[in-house]
Chain A
Amino acid sequence: MKHRGVLFFIFSFFILVCATTGFAQTAPKRVIIDTDPGTDDAMAIILALNSPELKVEALTVVPGNVDGRQGLENALRIVSLAGRCDVIVAGGAQHPLNQKLITAQFWHGKNGIAGVELPPTKCKADSRFGPDLIIEMVHKYPREITLIPVGPLTNIALAVSKDPSIVTLVKDIVIMGGSITGGNVNGAAEANIYGDPEAAQIVFNAGWMVTMVGSDVGERTLITRKYLAELQSSHGLESDFIAKIADFYLTRSEKSGYSGAAMYDPLAVGIVIDATLVTLKEMHVDVETKGEFTRGETVANRMGSNENNVLHGDHYEIDGVVPLTPNARVCVASDAGRFLQLFVSRVKGK
């Protein structure tokens, strides 16, 4: 009896230790990547597929860098190359809500993946509509799914418009998009938000806490020739593909005067793997949908309040400040070196 009691105690203690020291955390996080693949999307997808911390439940495709049809084909070929036909790949919206589609072959090559001709896919597209698939998965795994949208937010906006209950049922939403210090499309806007500002405004104001990886941080997280050489030093299906893409993307970026290629989408996946790679600051973020110069800008309030202006006769007077509830954890800095080491090692992983 005594012996069994001790065993029971040890066993209970073991469970308790496991539960409190992160045994639960080692269970991979279920993620859905909503993507417009896209060179850096391809990098992000391979990073996710090769990371044991994540279980990629699905890729949902949105028009952006390329149109929806090309994007779906790219996504299918990428998962096929990785030998991961178990990952659900579904198409989604065919065009942004109100904005006309803007594709980015200029940055991503004719087919969106640097002109690399991947072998025909062995995987099949799921027939479900991307936003519906997101709704279904979030309900299937309540508080377990982390959404990682790395394209325009059309699909996410459609999902949350149709079923607002997913807002409280997702574990997290980590967006690549926006910027709080100027855009990459023009002075104001980042491409994913600019590509569908109305959808972005829906998503930022849906009631969840969005984690925002902006282009400004992506542009301080550069893949350079040094890391490319590391990628090229060993060979494999996936690392060869990513090396080719990175080379194209890097050359394109260098031609435009940058010292490296911005790891926009991969960084969003990176922080789901390891949140300590970045510094986050809570803010309230709105998306400008109307401005002539600022359409698609993510307007971040860094003070946590707005002045309250009250009408006094013919003019307003400031009557104190109104606190704002933050709706975003905005990424303000990244540990670029540590992230790129992680990226390179994971891509070379297999």
Chain B
Amino acid sequence: MPRTFLIDTDTASDDAVALIMALRAPDVRVAAITTVAGNVDVQQATRNALYTAELCGANVAVYSGAEKPLLRAYTNATWFHGRDGLGDHNYPAPHRSHETLHAVDAIIETVEANRGLVVVTLGPLTNLALALAKKPTIAAKVGRCVVMGGAPCCEGNVTPAAEYNIWVDPEAARVVMLSGLPVELIGWQLSRGDAVLNGEDIGQIQEFQTPLGRFAVECNSHARQAYKVQTGEDGISLPDPIAMCVALDPSVGTEWSEDYVDVETQSELTRGMTVVDRLNVAEDQRNRVVWEPVLRTGRKSKVCWKIDIQRWKETLFSALR
């Protein structure tokens, strides 16, 4: 029995690689891809998802979703991924189009039809928040909810406090974190340092001489430059594929903790910060009132702190080979 995945994505360059990994995984059936405004607008994200699925020869249904964050002004990340999100290489339009059903309803239907579904979110959490508002009961039916997002206990990629996916729609992220979903948080910091594809890794992928390998490197060309400017690190940083890698094989995450997590929505300085109760003090008398919404869920999130770099890269290579 293959495992069933639903992937919610603001499909840009690293999302595309993550989609390839899921669509190529032999024991995974991707029941639905839902798209959301984020890195690029939702129409572009939908085109990119369809194009990537086509490259994989996958006939997966793609559902288009929210056009903007719940209440914040929409800010894209085309400065990082390129105007089309895929490094501006003029990829052709996909042959298929998206389904008519709204992504929010697709999420609800897919969860209800697939008990124990693995939900992987690679973008802002707007769609998932809207689905939870419509059907709060889906939270208890999801097997795992792997979230690429947040910057637990470290700097983010948009502000010193926050990572883009959470920052761009913090209210939606908060809905998700307080929903009771079994969240596994794969923060941005995991895709830095040694996890970055270095020149040698990229060379190895190019040696595969596969269309998917070429595409994975090429569509990240813009992101590679932007990442250098942003962090000073050279190479291709792939947050979404790392989240997907952990979704495919949780043991790639080698260090985990279970903590209460909340999302900051009230402050501008720390907007979208994923606040992790590392020392287990949320239940202390002085913290109880502020942390009550999280405590009430009775659900701690699994926060990943370290991954097996070698296995992450091997998993990626085998998807592109």
Contacts and interface: CB of A to CB of B under 8 A. Distances in A.
Interface of A: 93-95, 97-98, 100, 129, 131-132, 154, 157-158, 161-164, 198, 201-202, 205, 289-290
Nearest to A100: B293
Contact of A290 (B129, B134, B266): B266
Interface stretch (B10-18, B62-70, B185-193, B311-319): B62-70
Interface of B: 66-68, 70-71, 102, 104, 126, 129-130, 133-134, 136, 171, 174-175, 265-267, 293
Given A157-B71, A162-B130, A290-B267, 6 more contacts: A98-B265, A157-B70, A162-B66, A164-B67, A198-B70, A198-B265
Main secondary structure of the interface of A (DSSP, over half): loop
Given A94-B136, A198-B171, A158 B130 contact: yes
B130 A98 contact: no
B66 A161 contact: yes
A97 B175 contact: yes
Contacts of A158: 130, 133-134
Contacts of B133: 93, 97, 154, 158
Nearest to B73: A205
B126 A161 contact: yes
Q: Which of B66, B171, B175, B267 has the most CB of A within 10 A?
A: B171
Contacts of B136: 94-95
A290 B271 CA distance: 11
Q: Which of B126, B174, B266, B293 has the most CB of A within 10 A?
A: B266
28 contacts: A93-B133, A94-B136, A95-B136, A97-B70, A97-B129, A97-B133, A98-B175, A98-B265, A100-B293, A129-B134, A131-B134, A154-B133, A157-B70, A161-B66, A161-B68, A161-B70, A161-B126, A161-B130, A162-B104, A163-B102, A164-B67, A198-B71, A201-B71, A202-B70, A205-B71, A289-B71, A289-B265, A290-B266
A98 B126 contact: no
Nearest to A158: B133
A123 B102 CA distance: 30
Contacts of B129: 97
A98 B104 contact: no
A49 to B, nearest CB: 28
